Structure 1
Amino acid sequence: MNDSEPIVAGYDGSHEADTAVQWAARLANRRKCPLQIVHCSLWPVITHNMEPVPGIAESGLRHAAESVVSEGVARAHEVSADVEVTTSLVYGWPAENLRKLASHASLLVVGTRGIGGFLGLLVGSVSLELAATAACPVAVIGPVQRPGGPVVVGIDGEGWEATLRYAATFASQTQASLRIVHVRRKHDGHDPAQGPGAREMLDSAIRSVRNTTPGLEVADVLLSGTSVAGTLLSATSDAQVVVVGSSGLGLVKGSIGSTAHAVLHHAGCPVIVVRHPKQ
């Protein structure tokens, strides 16, 4: 995590985007890094007539898109008046544009934009695609804000070190405690948390955090359940953010894996996906 790199936030004028850009502004202020607000307009896909209506001031699709950008800046400054904000107005598909613009960012922040209440799924297709394909970590900002809660990170059998490092640094920057959760899957009524070797990963994780981020308040939780994602979520009811890793090994190219996918859909608080694809 390089704090000199900007945080990039997508903004489309929606309520969800308001929440996301303000979350990003607060974090940029803490990190003392720039915030880049990006609005992706789809109007050129539909029409080439972007100019003002003759005789009507401040009209036209181009002006409307520019107004959305200005609104995003205003929303950021409402919560962090001193944060350095730059803007980009681009045309075309949001996921493609945001992925390109965030190629050198420390974090890409987007809102949920899903259909709330539909089978409990809250995350839209653009957010999911970016979580699966962006080069940097992606934060998907849900409706619940718990600024005083812990940072919860889920670790599993492989590739967890990078996810843990990111979560520990994020917790330190936000002056939060860190809760490390490891879930063992139950099979046929057997509780693997009670078996030999169940604590080694968590003990190693705790040692790593204490070596790299001294002074950080850190706790560990070992759980078992039939659903890894559901069991992990049971430990996040007070979390300000949940950090999950993804190896990008889902059945569909570019997917993030079942656990990260489920956590994104069902965690009400912000979720950060840290990708570590296999080479």
Structure 2
Amino acid sequence: MSGLVIVGVDGSASSLVAVEAAAREARWRGAGLRIVHAFRWPPMRVPLGPPVPLPAEGEIWRMVEGLVAEAVGRASAVAPSVEVTHAVVPGEPLTVLEAQSHGAELVVVGSRGMGGFAGLLVGSTAVHLAAHGRCPVLVVRERSERAGPVVLGIDGSPAGASAVDFAFAEAALRGVGLVALHAWTTWNAPVPPPQDPAEPYASRPGVLAQAEESLLGEALAGRRERYPDVPVELRVVHGATREALIEASRAAQLLVVGARGRGGFAGLLLGSVSQAVLHHAHCPVAVVGRPGGR
């Protein structure tokens, strides 16, 4: 066993889908799987209206043991060869799973849990982990072993290099191709040096597009040689990044993005593009930060 995949469970349908996805990831990686339940009292939302009697402590533990056992059963059914362990850890899910992410290869969570507000597409735990987790975080929305490639969003920032490495490795594990997508507009593209000293604020037509295509090639440098069996499609889109990635996710089995890009405000742990695809992508999303944390 070469590593460990962590999956958070809370008894929700979304978390059970995450368990199945995590089991597949562990099988592909030859890693172990740890199922983690963060226990808090009371372990449920407090409804509006008259007080509702809480279950006795013994009943609570039977409920917790039952949901963990169901998760273990789901994992074993999907990947019988994977070594599965489980832990019930006191604390809030956000802090428990962030702590568990230290030293893990991957943390997997469902997009929606038992808490939060109905109608939100992605819960606070998923967004928090994407920003603070110490390893890549995979957010799964629905049960689906979809066909299609891995789509990688590239912006050329140094922070995005880890996402490039993760996407190539994931495509190799899954045995599928990789679509490397870079979207740009005249507002977010770095302006190249002027071509004519007499016109210091102008560039020849097509210069920005050529620069962005070069950026995509530079971002992938060395990876194609490292993963010769992964077919790669380069896709440069003149348009908004969020919309381009969300559209590309329709035909993908996984979308990979970095936690932070070259735009936005320094100090924010999760960029606007990462947040947008977490909420609106049509496939599971992996958010990858820099190695060792943020």
Would the TM-score normalized by the shorter structure come out above 0.5? Answer: yes
Three-state SS of the structure 1 residue aligned to 2:21 is helix
Task: Please tell me the residue identity of whatever aligns with 1:175.
Answer: G
Q: Which among 209, 214, 217 is matched to residue 200 of structure 1?
A: 214
* Alignment partners' CA distance in 2, 1:250 and 1:24: 31
Three-state SS of the structure 2 residue aligned to 1:183 is strand
Indicate how the Cα distance of structure 1 residues 104 and 208 shifts in structure 2: closer, same or farther if over 3 A, else same: same
Three-state SS of the structure 1 residue aligned to 2:67 is helix
- 1:14 maps to 12
* Alignment partners' CA distance in 2, 1:32 and 1:149: 23
- 2:290 maps to 276
Q: TM (normalized to structure 2)?
A: 0.81
- 1:29 maps to 27
- 1:163 maps to 163
* Alignment partners' CA distance in 1, 2:259 and 2:70: 33
Task: Please tell me the residue identity of whatever aligns with 1:176.
Answer: V
Task: Please tell me the residue identity of whatever aligns with 1:20.
Answer: A
Indicate how the Cα distance of structure 1 residues 214 and 125 shifts in structure 2: closer, same or farther if over 3 A, else same: same
Task: Please tell me the residue identity of whatever aligns with 2:184.
Answer: R
Three-state SS of the structure 2 residue aligned to 1:156 is coil
* Alignment partners' CA distance in 1, 2:54 and 2:118: 36
* Alignment partners' CA distance in 2, 1:144 and 1:252: 35
Alignment of 1:46-195 (within 5 A): 51-52=57-58, 60-113=59-112, 118=119, 121-143=120-142, 145-159=144-158, 160-187=160-187, 195=209
- 2:277 maps to 263
1:276 CA drift (Å): 2.3
* Alignment partners' CA distance in 2, 1:192 and 1:36: 51
Indicate how the Cα distance of structure 1 residues 117 and 132 shifts in structure 2: closer, same or farther if over 3 A, else same: same
Compare 205-214 and 162-171 and name the one that shifted more.
205-214
- 1:84-122 alpha-carbon deviations (Å, 9 max, x no partner): 10001112200100111121100000001178984xx51
CA-based RMSD of the aligned residues comes to 3.0
Q: TM (normalized to structure 1)?
A: 0.85
* Alignment partners' CA distance in 1, 2:30 and 2:209: 46
* Alignment partners' CA distance in 1, 2:282 and 2:207: 27
* Alignment partners' CA distance in 2, 1:207 and 1:21: 34
Indicate how the Cα distance of structure 1 residues 250 and 66 shifts in structure 2: closer, same or farther if over 3 A, else same: farther
Which ranges in structure 1 are unaligned for 5 or more consecutive residues?
53-59
Contact 2:153-2:257 within 8 A present in 1 as well: yes
* Alignment partners' CA distance in 2, 1:42 and 1:250: 36
Three-state SS of the structure 2 residue aligned to 1:234 is helix
Three-state SS of the structure 2 residue aligned to 1:197 is helix
Indicate how the Cα distance of structure 1 residues 48 and 105 shifts in structure 2: closer, same or farther if over 3 A, else same: farther
1:216 CA drift (Å): 1.2
* Alignment partners' CA distance in 2, 1:275 and 1:231: 21
1:208 CA drift (Å): 2.4
Task: Please tell me the residue identity of whatever aligns with 1:237.
Answer: R
**Structure of greater Rg:** 2
1:260 CA drift (Å): 0.4
1:198 CA drift (Å): 2.3
